[in-house]
Structure 1
Amino acid sequence: MKGIVCEQIGQLKLVEMDPPSLAEGEAIIRIKRIGICGTDLHAYKGNQPFFTYPRILGHELAGIVEEIGANGDGLKKGDQVCVIPYMHCGRCIACRNGKTNCCTGMKVIGVHSDGGFREMITVPVSHLIKTEGLTLDETAVLEPLSIGAHAVRRSELRRDETVLVIGAGPIGLGVMAFAKYNGARVIAMDINDERLDFCRQWAKVDHTVHALQEPGQRLAALTDGDYPTVVFDATGNARSMTESFHYVAHGGKLIYVGLVKADIAFHDPEFHKRELTLLGSRNATPEDFNHVLEAVRGGRIDVGSFITHRAPFDEMIGHFDSWLKPESKVIKAMVEI
């Protein structure tokens, strides 16, 4: 079968590889769609933490069950499924407390182990969700949207709260969409005017703020000087993550959704005088996937316009560099097999 390997920084190669064999508790999935994630792009550029080469990338996966043994989930050959790519141990303190998304031994498919840039992959049955009623495209974007949904759930967002989401990439857009879904008043911040336009059109945010045009003053004006009570930073940019402390209301929460390969420092008096709550949000749980699935199935999330670029699997390598360029205006690229 065919696969694409990231052999080293900036180098992808189409190769022939052996097909997977079935093991107990697993299923063989024939991959049909692969969403391209920021993680894939960061790994390709050499900026992804906890990453080694060579690696088969790809963790936003939709496919069809090719082969499966007896299981208690009712899955069978021919079922369309989404892959939950976070392989947890089930034994550590996080797993025992139901926080499988931050397992101490976490291995993410396509990051810490080989992923879905190939025609078939084996996955534990426990990490498959049947997506009856969804398209393959909708199935593939459940994973990135679930990261946004998890961040919103982690924030304990209340209806009618004022929320700021910094970063209008796919993850930030997912945060915006599910903050709106939860009834919040949402402000989007980014450095790109076209991305801010997309936030208004796709996520239906209430206001936008340009991050390089006196954002503090703009936020103060939009909130009568109170500032947002919940701020999500989905940039993965150290400077933005540092500056975000200044945008949170007194008594508010700051949630880091993006990951950066750097240290973050903050001014402790500002942190204390606000009695600010700082949270990290990592990955997602099956509960988040099912929440997103129902939202998409119910027509509450527009997947069609979320996907802006496409390529067949055999031609993906030729498109990959262009997807990194801002002028390509990529929101979500989708690979079809």
Structure 2
Amino acid sequence: MRAIQISEVQTLKPIEIDPPAAPGPGQALVRTHRMGVCGTDISCYLGKFPFFDFPRIPGHELGVEVVSVGEGVTNVVAGDRCSVEPYMNCGTCYPCRRGATNCCQNLKVIGVMMDGGLCESFLVRADKLHPSKKLTFDQLALVETLAIGCHANDRANPQPADHAMIIGMGPIGLATLEFAKFTGAKISVMDMNPDRLEFVRQNYGVENTIEFKGDGSELERMRELTGGDLYQSIVDATGNRHSMGGALNYLASTGSLVYVGITTDEITFRHPTMHKPEASILASRNALPGDFTRIIQLIEMGMINTDAWITHRTDMDRVLSDFESYTKPETGVIKAVISVCD
């Protein structure tokens, strides 16, 4: 069976693997139709993601079709179109017992810590499948990205009329924006790339955009937008240590800063920068099962429109040559989607 593996740093390799066995109790056999390429996949490919080991079949943003199910499975049937919740938690550790399945001490994320969906078919726990009778495979492949943003926004918890800012307008920043806009907060976004800011203005109607130049002009713009108060909640979706350390400078007194981007580097700041405003620094990791259910419903209701997200497409043949371009900001990629099976 055909699959594609990240075999070493910056190397994609086509491989043949054995077809999966029949699903056992609680399992489903699924066929991969679409895989979304996200920042995690890019970081894994570049050798920068802390939880990734080579070689690995990537693929955790997936739109799949159920082929068959094992004994005891009742939530899906053959033929169902589903999004995959890729976080394989143990269910018994301390965070799992508290409902924080996203932080399981024994967590295995498919496509990162175990082989993922960039193959024709694979076995998965059926309880990790979220079906929809309405969504396309493209839309289902975007649900996981949206779930990361949904959870990050919940962690930031912006309130109506608060000034809230999202830093980094890649897919995770955009996903966070999708949910921040439901809160009634006054939203600003910041990025180094003016094209991404224009994308946000055109597709989301957000006028409070800030181009980061590193010359202090961004802070002046923030004070102008907030009447000098700065931001009660900030989500940093960059994964850049300089941005993550500097974000405290933009926080209002008693505000919250959420890190959803991941870096393997040290993040540094002077303690008074955090202490003086009595800041709260939070992390946001993965997402929760309820986030997937909520997002599918919102897309089905037309409250989230994913049409503008997919800027690049490829397939199993072309991805070997196309993937490198997705690592380069100048290509203008927001979200690339791989057609695996049609």
Q: TM-score range by the shorter chain?
A: over 0.9
Q: Does 1:12 align with 2:34?
A: no
Deviation at 1:72, TM superposition (A): 5.1
Structure 2 equivalent of residue 256 of structure 1? 259
| Aligned partner (choices 220, 225, 232) of residue 222 of structure 1 | 225
Structure 1 equivalent of residue 96 of structure 2? 95
Q: Does 1:77 align with 2:67?
A: no
Question: In the aligned structure 2, how far is the partner of 1:76 from the partner of 1:295?
Answer: 23
Structure 1 equivalent of residue 293 of structure 2? 290
Q: What is the TM-score of this pair, normalised by structure 1? A: 0.97
Structure 2 equivalent of residue 199 of structure 1? 200
User: C-alpha deviations, 1:76-97, integer Å up to 9, x for none?
Assistant: 1010011100111111111111
Three-state SS of the structure 2 residue aligned to 1:292 is: helix
Three-state SS of the structure 1 residue aligned to 2:210 is: strand
Contact 1:180/1:205 (<8 A) preserved:
no
Further displaced range: 305-314 or 195-204: 195-204
Structure 2 equivalent of residue 305 of structure 1? 308
| Aligned partner (choices 312, 317, 339) of residue 314 of structure 1 | 317
Structure 2 equivalent of residue 269 of structure 1? 272
The runs of 4+ residues in structure 1 deviating greater than 4 Å are: none
Question: In the aligned structure 1, how far is the partner of 2:75 from the partner of 2:103?
Answer: 27
Deviation at 1:211, TM superposition (A): 1.1
Q: Which amino acid aligns with 2:97?
A: R
Question: In the aligned structure 2, how far is the partner of 1:233 from the partner of 1:255?
Answer: 6
Question: In the aligned structure 1, how far is the partner of 2:293 from the partner of 2:199?
Answer: 26
User: C-alpha deviations, 1:117-142, integer Å up to 9, x for none?
Assistant: 10001110111101221111110000
Deviation at 1:114, TM superposition (A): 0.5
Structure 1 equivalent of residue 38 of structure 2? 37
The 1:73–1:226 alpha-carbon spacing in structure 2 relative to 1, beyond 3 Å, is farther
Contact 2:26/2:73 (<8 A) preserved:
no
Structure 1 equivalent of residue 161 of structure 2? 160
Question: In the aligned structure 2, how far is the partner of 1:70 from the partner of 1:183?
Answer: 46
Question: In the aligned structure 2, how far is the partner of 1:233 from the partner of 1:126?
Answer: 31
Q: Which amino acid aligns with 1:14?
A: P
| Aligned partner (choices 314, 331, 336) of residue 334 of structure 2 | 331
Q: Which amino acid aligns with 1:42?
A: S
Deviation at 1:155, TM superposition (A): 1.9
Question: In the aligned structure 2, how far is the partner of 1:115 from the partner of 1:306?
Answer: 22
Contact 2:24/2:71 (<8 A) preserved:
no
Contact 2:28/2:70 (<8 A) preserved:
yes
Q: What is the TM-score of this pair, normalised by structure 2? A: 0.96
Summarize the alignment of residues 58-69 of structure 1 with structure 2, pairs less than 5 Å apart.
58-69=59-70
| Aligned partner (choices 245, 270, 274) of residue 242 of structure 1 | 245
Question: In the aligned structure 2, how far is the partner of 1:191 from the partner of 1:105?
Answer: 36
Structure 1 equivalent of residue 130 of structure 2? 129
Q: Which runs of 5+ in 1 are unaligned?
A: none
What RMSD over aligned residues (CA atoms) do the two structures have, in Å? 1.1
Contact 1:27/1:122 (<8 A) preserved:
yes
Deviation at 1:270, TM superposition (A): 2.0
Contact 2:25/2:71 (<8 A) preserved:
no
Structure 1 equivalent of residue 170 of structure 2? 169
Structure 2 equivalent of residue 3 of structure 1? 3
Question: In the aligned structure 1, how far is the partner of 2:156 from the partner of 2:325?
Answer: 35
Three-state SS of the structure 2 residue aligned to 1:123 is: strand
Contact 1:307/1:334 (<8 A) preserved:
yes
Question: In the aligned structure 2, how far is the partner of 1:273 from the partner of 1:281?
Answer: 23
Identity of aligned residues (%): 42
Contact 2:156/2:234 (<8 A) preserved:
no
Deviation at 1:183, TM superposition (A): 2.0
Question: In the aligned structure 1, how far is the partner of 2:272 from the partner of 2:153?
Answer: 27
Summarize the alignment of residues 180-195 of structure 1 with structure 2, pairs less than 5 Å apart.
180-195=181-196
In the alignment of these two chains, the number of paired residues is 337
Contact 1:92/1:103 (<8 A) preserved:
yes
